[in-house]
Amino acid sequence: MSVETRRNFGTVRLPAGFNGLLPALVLIVLFFVIPVLALLLRSVTEPEPGLQNYAALLGDGTYARVFFNTFLVASVVTIVTVLVAFPVAWMLAIMPSALASIVFGVIILSMWTNLLTRTYAWMVLLQRTGVINRTLIAAGVIDQPLPLINNLTGVTIGMVYIMLPFMILPLVGTLRAIDPMTLRAAALCGASPFQAFRRILLPLSLPGIAAGGLMVFVMSLGYFVTPALLGGTSNMMLAEMIAQMIQSLLNWGLGSAAAFILLVVTMALYALQLRLVGARRMSGGI
């Protein structure tokens, strides 16, 4: 039967049209689109009309540092997450299902555990007198406790921990979709395992890596909780700065302008991601 007949099948009898979207659209337009647009408006009207908030944000060295830090942290987190996630996803894609379900269980447990709970655990683990420093000192690896918290190291560990499931799970899907035959064929063609990895496996999984990596990068850019708790004052990230501008300084104009810059960057990367994988695939990849 043709695609066309299939499509017309239900629409004639059931008004399976637009109506069902109305409640969702009302909710999103009224309580998402309008508030965000109102915020944008505030960024060019407060304290007075004009672009001075943006000029201040982009012209000032302190703010530039925050932007730089944000991109640095997001980049480092993304790279580390990809490097750690790939081998795990690779194994998960091919290991016996009984074993895989244990690993999946651990991943889900970590993912579903309350965000603050996980961050709290890292705060305790990473502190000067925390388990990690004590263990390392007891083992004789170091003499002085390492500064693991309130700096870039702490943020990276905490963020990679949170982002790993978001990278591993979609990547397993990508790797499972690769036909093992292609790699057997590569071996018969004379490719060494390293060549087969570099020329076949890696290129075939690249779309998944790019999509997942971009998602992790976007999520990291706007992350608030973990950097606020594990990061230091000297390497503040954008989301924390926005929250501070609004909550402590009550500077709505500057805060909204910073929020809008974050929004534009995020949405641009999101659009790139959609082009890479398509909205349909995205939504299937939870």
Partner 1 sequence: MLLDYDRMGWLKIALLGFTALVAGFLLLPVVFIVLLSFGSSRWLAFPPPGWTLKWYQELFADPAWLDAALTSARIATMTAILAVAIGLLASFALVRGQFAGREILRGLLLTPMVLPVVVFAIAIYAFFLRLGLGGTTIGFVIAHTVLALPFAIIPVATALEGFDKSIEDAAIVCGASPLEARLRITLPSIRIGIFSAAIFSFLASWDEVVVAIFMASPSLQTLPVKIWGSLRSDLSPVIAAASSLLVGLTLALMVVTALLQRKLRT
Partner 2 sequence: MTQPFLSIRNLRKAFGAITAVHDVTLDIPRGEFLTFLGPSGSGKSTTLYAIAGFQDPSSGDVLLEGKSLLAVPSHKRNIGMVFQRYTLFPHLTVAENVAFPLRVRRRPEAEVKKKVADMLALVRLESFATRLPGALSGGQQQRVALARALAYDPPILLMDEPLSALDKKLREEIQAEIRRIHRETGVTILYVTHDQEEALHLSDRIALFRDGRIEQTGSGEDLYLRPATDFVAGFIGNSNFLAAEHLDTSDGTATIRLADGSVISGVRANGTFGRGEKTRLMIRPEAFGMERSPASAELNVEIVDVAFYGERRRIVARTAAGEGVDIRPTSAAMQSQDASPCSRQVFFDPAAAFLFPA
242's contact among partner 2, partner 1, none, with CB below 5 to 8 A by partner kind, is: partner 1
Residue number with CB closer to partner 2 (9 or 224): 9
Minimum distance between the CB of residue 17 and partner 2, rounded to whole angstroms? 16
Residue number with CB closer to partner 1 (73 or 200): 200
Coil, helix or strand for 255? helix
Query: CA-CA distance, 126 to 122, in Å (whole number)?
Result: 6
Residues 75, 217: contact at Cβ < 8 Å? Answer: yes
Minimum distance between the CB of residue 2 and partner 2, rounded to whole angstroms? 6
Detail the DSSP E strand segments found in the chain: none
283's contact among partner 1, partner 2, none, with CB below 5 to 8 A by partner kind, is: partner 1
Query: CA-CA distance, 155 to 152, in Å (whole number)?
Result: 5
Q: Which amino acid is at 113?
A: T
4's contact among partner 1, partner 2, none, with CB below 5 to 8 A by partner kind, is: partner 2
Residues 6+ apart with CB under 8 A from 9: none
Residue number with CB closer to partner 1 (148 or 218): 218
Please report, as ranges, the residues that interact with partner 2 according to CB under 8 A: 1-2, 4-5, 8-10, 12-13
Residue number with CB closer to partner 2 (12 or 24): 12
Query: CA-CA distance, 148 to 1, in Å (whole number)?
Result: 63
Residue number with CB closer to partner 1 (231 or 255): 255
Minimum distance between the CB of residue 191 and partner 1, rounded to whole angstroms? 10
Residues 6+ apart with CB under 8 A from 200: 182, 183, 186, 191
